[in-house]
């Protein structure tokens, strides 16, 4: 390996036998500004790797007026779904010499403080999780409108920005239709913060020729404790359902825990299906049938969209990336024996 105390573009251009401008174009992915042959690109990249070249981000920022920082806003990171999405964001940002400024909050006052920090850091772009738009709508509107922005989790109707998300309708219809094929007709839905999932559930029920029963929907189910409360709410309403679709695997775990504590056997008496395919799904007893939605991919796809926008491409809602869910069959759903 070539040894150096501090590698510069001058060093790489000397060893690669090309100009500084050519090296800069290749290393900063601006090959459209300089015509560079494939062999030359590969030679420059090989020398950069041999030098363990690390770009001077501060110097680049001074020259370009960029901070090489991307703000990421999310209401919670305790949800096991979020860390994998953040990892997808971080991987792409790191590969493109950007850093992430993560902003979480619990209330509007806290969000205002975090937004001020993002403004002071002059972030070049924003990635906003859908849960960060649920209750607060104006705190950081000006910040979003002044910078390239991409959403994760769902589209936002008030902005013509792209998003990367898993098809919520498909998540719910896949779960509902699977339970219908097993013979279930009284299916409860533990709804959280994604209205399109509730729409998908309702549509699948009605397509099967069944009457939609609003009493089988338990709203506000976003965590483990909500799942436990949902069981008691359904029980107090009268006849328990034969199957339950949970907003997340964590909600399903809470429901199963409370049901089991009260002597209900899963899946013999109630079938349960989760959403997300988190590690906890395989750890439960019995292992949880669930709907897998891509997690790291949402982060990486959203970040790739953002990089395009920060490089000057004009993207809108129609450029969104919609990822597809898939059914993971384990042991918490049982086929009913239908009467002849």
CATH of the domain at 264: 3.40.50.2300
Give pLDDT, residue 195.
87
Give the number of domains in the chain. Answer: 3
User: Does the residue 230 lie in any domain?
Assistant: yes
Domain limits at 239? Answer: 168-292
Nearest to 299 by CA among 78, 9, 69, 93: 93
Identify the three-state secondary structure at position 116.
helix
Residue 143 contacts residue 113 (beta carbons within 8 Å): no
Confirm whether 4 is domain-assigned: no
Q: Is residue 28 part of a domain?
A: yes
Question: In whole angstroms, what is the distance from residue 133 CA to residue 233 CA?
Answer: 28
CA atoms within 13 A on the CB side of 1: 10
The predicted pLDDT at position 295 comes to: 94
- Is 335 part of a structural domain of the chain? no
State residue 64's pLDDT score: 53
DSSP symbols for 50-91: HTT----HHHHHHHHS---EEEEEES-S-STHHHHHHHHHHH
Same domain, 162 and 90: yes
* Inside any domain, residue 338: no
pLDDT of residue 244: 98
Residue 3 lies in a domain: no
Same domain, 173 and 271: yes
Q: What's residue 115's pLDDT?
A: 85
What pLDDT score does 63 carry? 52
Bond before 207 cis per omega within 30 degrees:
no
105 shares its domain with 176: no
Task: State the DSSP H helix or E strand holding residue 171, giving kind and residue range, or none if neither.
Answer: helix 168-181
Do 185 and 287 lie in one domain? The reply is yes
- Assess whether 174 and 266 both reside in one domain: yes
Residues 278 and 300 in one domain: no
Residue 333, in any domain of the structure:
no
Q: Which residues of the chain are under the pLDDT cut of 50?
A: 1-4, 31, 58, 61-62, 340
Please indicate, yes or no, whether residues 206 and 281 belong to a single structural domain of this protein.
yes
134, 96: one domain: yes
Same domain, 174 and 287: yes
H or E element at residue 243: strand 243-246
Same domain membership, residue 276 and residue 178: yes
| Domain harbouring 18, CATH code | 1.10.260
**Do the Cβ atoms of 83 and 74 come closer than 8 Å?**
no
Assess whether 194 and 265 both reside in one domain. yes
Residue 217 domain flag:
yes
The length of the chain in residues reads 340
Same domain, 13 and 108: no
DSSP state of 210: P
pLDDT for res 40: 87
Residue-wise burial string across 191-227, b where 16 or more C-beta atoms lie within 10 A, e elsewhere: bbbbebbbebbbebbeeeeeeeeeebebeebbbbebb
**Under 8 Å CB-to-CB from 209, ≥6 apart: which residues?**
none
């Amino acid at each position: 390996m070539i040894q150096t105390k501090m590698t510069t573009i001058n060093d790489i251009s000397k060893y690669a036998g090309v100009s500084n401008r050519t090296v800069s174009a290749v290393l900063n992915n601006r090959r459209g500004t300089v015509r560079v042959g494939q062999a030359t690109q590969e030679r420059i990249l090989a020398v950069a790797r041999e030098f363990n070249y690390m770009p001077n981000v501060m110097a680049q920022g001074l020259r370009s007026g960029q901070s090489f920082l991307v703000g990421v806003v999310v209401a919670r990171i305790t949800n096991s779904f979020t860390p994998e999405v953040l990892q997808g964001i971080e991987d792409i940002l790191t590969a493109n010499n950007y850093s992430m400024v993560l902003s979480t909050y619990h209330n509007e006052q806290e969000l205002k403080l975090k937004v001020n920090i993002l403004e002071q850091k002059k972030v070049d772009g924003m990635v906003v999780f859908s849960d960060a738009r649920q209750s607060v709508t104006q705190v950081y509107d000006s910040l979003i409108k002044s910078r390239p922005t991409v959403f994760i989790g769902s589209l936002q109707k008030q902005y013509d920005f792209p998003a990367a998300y898993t098809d919520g309708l498909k998540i719910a219809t896949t779960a509902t239709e699977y339970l219908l094929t097993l013979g279930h007709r009284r299916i409860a839905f533990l709804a959280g913060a994604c209205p399109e999932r509730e729409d998908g559930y309702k549509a699948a029920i009605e397509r099967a020729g069944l009457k939609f029963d609003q009493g089988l929907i338990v709203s506000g189910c976003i965590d483990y404790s909500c799942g436990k409360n949902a069981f008691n709410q359904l029980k107090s309403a009268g006849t328990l359902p034969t199957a339950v679709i949970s907003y997340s695997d964590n909600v399903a775990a809470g429901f199963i825990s409370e049901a089991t504590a009260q002597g209900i056997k899963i899946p013999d008496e109630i079938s349960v299906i989760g959403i997300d395919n988190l590690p906890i799904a395989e750890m439960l007893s019995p292992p949880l049938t669930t709907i897998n939605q891509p997690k790291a991919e949402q982060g990486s796809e959203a970040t790739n969209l953002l990089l395009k926008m920060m490089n000057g491409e004009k993207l809108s809602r129609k450029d969104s990336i919609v990822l597809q869910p898939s059914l993971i069959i384990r042991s918490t759903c049982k086929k009913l024996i239908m009467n002849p």
